[in-house]
Amino acid sequence: MPFGYTGQNQPNQTVSNSGVFSITDVAELQSQGKLGGSLELIESQSVTSAFCDFTNLPSNYDVLMFQIKQMKVTTQTNVRLRISNDNGSSYISSGYQYALQRGYPSTFTELKSTSAGEILLGGDVGTNAVDNFNAYVYMYNANNSGKYTFFTLQSIWGLASASIYSLFTFGGGVLPTAEIHNAVRFGEGGFSALSGAEIKLYGVKQI
């Protein structure tokens, strides 16, 4: 059965289009996960001189994605995250593991730990106006009490004071405790409020 938008000339849809959605069409497409886009904006935050906290993480996604831009630090340092099992009343401060590759034009470095107080996202981030930290961070299975909560990430930022204008990390981390985690806190150093950040949280749709 074809579905459609009025005024559209058959764009690339997963189901063929011709006509106007009926209530039945909407119900059928929704049940297939094909109604609307599949990257669903959950929350946007812009903070100054504060941690950037996301609480009440939705329970209907296996995969969440944080889009970070303009993350700024108060002093040259690393940026990190912690997670919570009590919806942000407290954030877990031990037991994290991570493994990241960091690189910049002259040096590649392995960053790793099996007993960290946070998951490292990147560093050293500078305090110059052009040094802001930007990243995509995926979070997996946070809503599953039988699984650990995992992260993958890819980032880029600057350290202009050292004449380094692009550094990257990629890799991931885990809190190897099988329980539901329902909040995330982004901060700097070990572990304090950011100078600023703009972060969007998306859910990657599932049926």
Q: Of 90, 79, 83, nearest to 54 (Cα)?
A: 83
Cβ-based nearer residue to another protein, 47 or 174: 174
- Two structure tokens written together for 41: 């904006």
Q: Which of residues 50-109 bind another protein (CB under 8 A)?
A: 62-63, 97-101
**CA–CA gap between residue 161 and residue 124 (Å, rounded):** 11
Taking residues 134 to 153 in sequence order and writing x for each that binds another protein by CB under 8 A, - otherwise, the string is: ----x-xx----xxx-xxx-
Contacts with 62 (C-beta within 8 Å, 6 or more apart), sequence order: 140, 141, 143, 144, 204, 206
Nearer residue to another protein within complex by CB, 12 or 24: 12
Q: Which is nearer to another protein, 22 or 38 (by Cβ)? A: 38
Q: Binding another protein by CB under 8 A: which of 58, 172, 189, 196?
A: 172
When asked if residue 19 is in the footprint of another protein (CB under 8 A), the reply is no
Give the strand order in the sheet containing 149-159.
39-50, 194-204, 63-72, 133-140, 149-159, 164-175, 96-104, 107-116
Of residues 105 and 146, the one with the C-beta less far from another protein:
146
Longest dimension (CA), the chain: 61
Query: What is the nearest approach in angstroms of another protein to the Cβ of residue 155?
Result: 12
CA gap 85, 87 in Å, rounded: 6
Q: What angle do CA 200, 169, 172 make, to 5 degrees?
A: 75
For another protein, which residue of 17, 127, 128, 154 counts as binding (CB under 8 A)?
154
173 belongs to the binding site for another protein (CB under 8 A)? yes
Cα–Cα distance measured from residue 197 to residue 73, given in angstroms and rounded to the nearest whole number: 9
State yes or no: residue 164 binds another protein (CB under 8 A).
Answer: no
| Interface residue list for another protein (CB under 8 A) | 11-14, 33-34, 36-41, 62-63, 97-101, 110, 112-114, 138, 140-141, 146-148, 150-152, 154, 170-174, 176, 178, 202, 204-207
